[in-house]
Structure 1
């Protein structure tokens, strides 16, 4: 960890207000997977999906508390990956930085591809690559102008998602209280626990649901980096992170509970968004268009966060690098923004537009994006390992934003992340990406070993 980086990180613009971070924090816990993948998750695990969401939510809360405690101790850092270098060594940090940047960039490609598909819902004849380029240019401009504009954009993206879920929950409660009947029968809270079984479709599908839910939560750590961009991170960070469990309970578990209240879980199809079904049952015939709009804003929100987060990580990579190639990306603009890093990150994400023109490599693209998602698990494991080292270092802030029961929470979370990664090899849909992610771990891990240790 270099003093140069500390100094340059302090120069970055802190233009986010508390209201930005609080709403972004809420929106950050609501992924596209909830809107489009809830039906598939319920199909796999039935009502037990509530338990799985609660477990994964708790694991991610432990990760967020670890990140929050380290950022609170050193609020000058704008990315938690810095702590991996500081406490696990430069070689591990080199692996983590490049892995995380590439992982988030590929996540951006996936979201940009999804955005094009959502836009084609209304304009099926518009070429996918043109839609992607236009959207990418707009969001890149948002990130280039000022941190405050990024915050304002994310604020309204998050607002749309929140209103959609609140509308779902209110609609479902009103249906249940008024004895509303659908083609599948009466709307009742008892629909959730009728025919309950912990493994309704077998132990294998119950275990596979952990992977699906895990993928719905990746990227939650963006909240920590967003809070670092505020004028008073030590005040905003604890509040944003501590509210995560309540948001998971209300928005994820609440939405899933209401969905199964309205429609018996045994009859929910895996290939259809439950949100569309619920709003159609409520008499909103344009439900598909409504949900498509919500999912479009959700994907745009994710891409906006990708550009924000990945550019900060690439800036940090450039600051730490000794190579001439990365020196231009270690510079700040007159507005104290990592402009060159934002441009380069956008350029990498723009490859998705090129990929969309080559049908022959569509499967390869899906493989790479799935494998990159698997790498998030590795990053979370390294983050918790770095946190463990931090607790034993001289940097440890005894009166800081301390995690509760770390001696139990951290080891259990590490074990769970490892077990979830292992289960990827037993699912036909995830085994190839899991192998790809493991190859990356081995090959790039060996490259990282060749880096000078500091």
Structure 2
């Protein structure tokens, strides 16, 4: 990418091994929402929820192919946001950089709050804010010591999620094959097919389910952030992305089919985890504790990834957009361990505000609104990434023998259209309406400000 690349080269160590990246890629497609929110999403549309998961997963995969193509061309970029700067202009790059950092920080805050709730399952008297700070300090140290340590911790966090889903699928197969009888009936494949309808609760519920499923896939792009610290990125990255569709079908499709084969979907409770219900029906009395442990590690994994991601993005922002505050705290420097130490610490301090928010009831409502708004902003960034890819394809940087996105002329605009459709669905539900309005205001105001700030460069 010639001269405009030069300033963003980094000297971070390539300490992440192939096994780290491949397992993180699997776990990156499995959100905590699958363990906790599957019951609610199934209740909206019944068995047709699988179609929504597969379709949404397909478009997320296409986005990863676009990111993967650009990262393959230049694996030294440790944030895909750089490509928005290069191919959409400095204004949109500035908008995407800060918006993405803030959005991921809010995800980190939400995960930190969730971690405290899961710990209180066993220790209800422990104050939430103390749990949050202790967990944040531990995971902060994991990120500061070395990239290799982060990779190892993420590897085992990921393994716990994967084993839980494999156990669920194995339990379902056993129950179906033995005709296992539960209080809701006999475990059978016919529980899925009986009275099948695409819109059992009406078209609106079917449409609304898309945004629920979409947000279960958030942070899938994280695997691209690890590229700059991966051994042999041009070999590892295509392999990690290429296997995403199989993982989506197996882990999401397999888990949902397993749940609905055991429990008829009309009898499935919308509250609580269907994983707990299945394991309890199988006779595991400590199922609630087991799944609580799984979602605790899942939330901790997401928080760990958040610290990693926000640290790299803030480091990049400090490099690309000279800022007196960021320069003063040396956010654009690396530690002796070759990690962006000050950027990670700054991000961790902001995420720690979740602990203060949890004890201030008046602020928590505003926090909920801001978190919801960040979800809509996330979609805007995904759209910008796809537009950047279109511009990359017509630029002099285009690498014809690289890891190319298939049929990009059709599939890229189609993916953009799908993201805009999901954004529109946010306006259809009371629970997401104010978040949708908030994100629209942010996109217009901050997007406009960013374009104005860099108006001299945008045509260059």
Bucket of the pairwise TM-score, normalised by the shorter protein: over 0.9
Q: Distance in 1 between matches of 2:344 and 2:323?
A: 19
Q: Distance in 1 between matches of 2:288 and 2:109?
A: 24
1:219 corresponding residue in structure 2: 219
1:451 offset after TM fit, Å?
Answer: 1.6
1:363 corresponding residue in structure 2: 365
Secondary structure of the residue aligned to 1:326 is helix
2:13 corresponding residue in structure 1: 13
Q: Distance in 1 between matches of 2:2 and 2:425?
A: 38
1:3 offset after TM fit, Å?
Answer: 5.2
Does residue 95 in structure 1 map to residue 95 in structure 2? yes
Q: Distance in 1 between matches of 2:199 and 2:407?
A: 31
Q: Distance in 1 between matches of 2:5 and 2:309?
A: 17
1:430 corresponding residue in structure 2: 432
1:449 corresponding residue in structure 2: 451
After the TM superposition, which of the residue ranges 265-274 and 114-123 deviates more from structure 2? 265-274
1:390 corresponding residue in structure 2: 392
Q: Distance in 2 between matches of 1:181 and 1:60?
A: 38
Q: Distance in 1 between matches of 2:270 and 2:382?
A: 29
Structure 2, unaligned runs of 5 or more? none
Q: Distance in 2 between matches of 1:235 and 1:361?
A: 47
1:408 offset after TM fit, Å?
Answer: 1.4
| Structure 1: 4+ residue segments shifted above 4 A | 1-5
Does residue 187 in structure 1 map to residue 187 in structure 2? yes
Q: Is the contact made by 1:2 and 1:320 (CA closer than 8 Å) also made in structure 2?
A: no
1:356 offset after TM fit, Å?
Answer: 0.8
Q: 1:335 to 1:207 in 2, by over 3 A?
A: same
1:228 offset after TM fit, Å?
Answer: 3.1
CA RMSD of aligned residues (A): 1.2
Q: Deviations over 1:141-183 (max 9, x none)?
A: 0000000000000000000000000000000000000111101
Does residue 35 in structure 1 map to residue 24 in structure 2? no
Q: Distance in 1 between matches of 2:453 and 2:397?
A: 25
Q: Is the contact made by 1:72 and 1:234 (CA closer than 8 Å) also made in structure 2?
A: yes
1:56 corresponding residue in structure 2: 56
Q: Distance in 1 between matches of 2:163 and 2:434?
A: 37
Q: Distance in 1 between matches of 2:381 and 2:452?
A: 20
- Give TM-score, length-normalised by structure 2: 0.97
2:86 corresponding residue in structure 1: 86
Q: Distance in 2 between matches of 1:134 and 1:389?
A: 45
Q: Is the contact made by 1:425 and 1:434 (CA closer than 8 Å) also made in structure 2?
A: yes
Q: Alignment partner for residue 345 of structure 1, among 341, 344, 347?
A: 347
Secondary structure of the residue aligned to 1:449 is helix
1:376 corresponding residue in structure 2: 378
Q: Deviations over 1:91-134 (max 9, x none)?
A: 01000000000000011000000000000000111010000000
1:206 corresponding residue in structure 2: 206
- Give TM-score, length-normalised by structure 1: 0.98
Q: Distance in 2 between matches of 1:145 and 1:5?
A: 28
Q: Distance in 2 between matches of 1:273 and 1:223?
A: 27
2:321 corresponding residue in structure 1: 321
1:330 offset after TM fit, Å?
Answer: 0.6
Q: Distance in 2 between matches of 1:207 and 1:118?
A: 31
Does residue 268 in structure 1 map to residue 271 in structure 2? no
1:177 corresponding residue in structure 2: 177
Does residue 237 in structure 1 map to residue 237 in structure 2? yes
1:411 corresponding residue in structure 2: 413
Secondary structure of the residue aligned to 1:450 is helix
1:9 offset after TM fit, Å?
Answer: 3.2
Q: Distance in 1 between matches of 2:236 and 2:323?
A: 36
Q: Deviations over 1:254-291 (max 9, x none)?
A: 10001000111111111121100000000001111100
Q: Is the contact made by 2:56 and 2:213 (CA closer than 8 Å) also made in structure 1?
A: yes
1:4 offset after TM fit, Å?
Answer: 8.3
